[in-house]
Amino acid sequence: MPSQENKAMIPFLQMANGKTNRLGCAYEICADDFYEDYVLFVCTYGESKIRIGNPIYTRGPPCGSCRNKCTFNNRLCDI
């Protein structure tokens, strides 16, 4: 659960959030006269509504909340 103490983890929590249903990533190889070349990698997540104090998923059996829309060997809800 996100809190003030672990808010630096919010990017990871967005990825792990059970309500995340979209993902987009990009990278750029950067060259600089002062530093070694480096790669900048960024991702953004859709519908992940991270709020401090709210859980990121509901604990339960696989497909426990989507019995009629369960896929991948009855392990994941098909949103």
Written in H, E and C, the secondary structure of 9-64 is HHHHHHHHCCCCCEEEEEEEEECCCCCCCEEEEEEEEECCCCCCCCCCCCCCCCCC
DSSP 78: -
15-69 pLDDT tens trace: 888 778 888 999 999 887 887 888 999 888 887 677 777 788 778 888 887 878 8
pLDDT for position 65: 79
pLDDT for position 46: 81
In 3-state terms, what secondary structure has residue 77?
A: strand
| pTM to 2 decimal places | 0.51
pLDDT for position 79: 65
